[in-house]
Amino acid sequence: MSTKRLILSPQDRGGIGKSFVATLLYDYLMDAKVKLKTFDLDHANSTFKRLVPEAEFIHTDVDAHKLAVLDRLVSALETVDTVLVDNRATGGSKLLEYIKDSRLTDLQKALEFDLVFVVIAVDDRDAISQAADVLDDYGKRVSWLVVKNYRDSTELKMFDESDTRKRLRDFGAIEVEVPCLSEITKNRLQMLNLTVGNGRFSEKLHILDQSRCVRFHAYMQNQFDKARKLIAP
């Protein structure tokens, strides 16, 4: 793989955990001392920027001919090793339109970076269908990280048995799992604008919440270690 990464989620489906997964990736990459730049494309909520204040905001609710504003994602790779992007609900199509218009997949070698698509796997037909559509278009042209989000259930039978999962594996996708974090703790982290990693040490949180963050963070470190070569230069 190249020495640099552009990591983003191309799915349009909202409410599947894209922002939460982005913060977990942020925690992992920061702990790994990766030279990182972050962007938030969610003009409606900006959840990621609230939790990661240094993230730059880019407004993408614009006409197609103005999507070149996303050149900032690529330009940032001139000074950092990894760019992490949190996309908004219904924003995946804008990102894909930009990637197609700029021929970004064809420029990976020239620009010395790898494009990593993060697929959030949940038992939702629309989310799985969207992943399948993106897979049809990009296949081996990008790298794939599948994040199985168990926040709503203990199994993902629909996804596990889907042809989409099989095809992702055929294209070399690496799978990691996100377990369910206590709803109380997660809500408190949201209220205090803290990532799980920062929640481990925050005196604003009760020691029980801190303890849950310690356990959860350690689990995710082990999970993302499986994909280290994919997401960390």
Tokens of 183: 């709803």
CA-wise closest residue to 192 among 53, 57, 55, 85? 53
Amino acid at 211: S
Instruction: Note the pTM of the prediction, 2 decimals.
Output: 0.95
Query: What does each of the 233 residues of the chain score in pLDDT, given as a tens digit?
Result: 678 999 999 998 888 999 999 999 999 999 999 999 999 998 777 889 999 999 999 988 888 788 999 999 999 999 999 999 999 876 678 899 999 999 999 999 999 999 999 999 999 999 999 999 999 999 999 999 999 999 888 899 999 999 999 999 999 999 999 999 999 999 999 999 999 999 999 999 999 999 999 999 999 999 999 999 999 98
Q: What is the pLDDT of residue 101?
A: 94
CA-wise closest residue to 84 among 129, 154, 47, 35? 35
Q: What is the pLDDT of residue 5?
A: 97
In the sheet that 143-149 helps form, which strands lie side by side, from edge to edge?
Answer: 56-57, 36-40, 82-86, 5-8, 114-121, 143-149, 174-178
Distances (CA, A) of 75 to 4, 56, 126, 131, 223: 12, 13, 33, 27, 30
| The CATH number, out of the four listed (3.40.50.1820, 3.90.980.10, 3.40.50.300, 3.90.1150.10), of the domain defined by the range 5-181 | 3.40.50.300
Distance between CA atoms of residues 169 and 66, nearest Å = 35
CA-wise closest residue to 7 among 15, 17, 16, 29? 29
Amino acid at 218: A
Distance between CA atoms of residues 79 and 14, nearest Å = 31
% helix, strand, coil for the chain, step of 5:
50, 15, 35
Domain ranges of the chain: 5-181
Amino acid at 117: F
Distance between CA atoms of residues 98 and 154, nearest Å = 36
Q: What is the pLDDT of residue 91?
A: 66
Q: What is the 3-state secondary structure (H, E, C) of 26-76?
A: HHHHHHCCCCEEEEECCCCCCHHHHHCCCCEECCCCCCHHHHHHHHHHHHH
Q: What is the pLDDT of residue 90?
A: 66
Contact by Cβ (8 Å): 138, 9: no
Distance between CA atoms of residues 207 and 101, nearest Å = 49
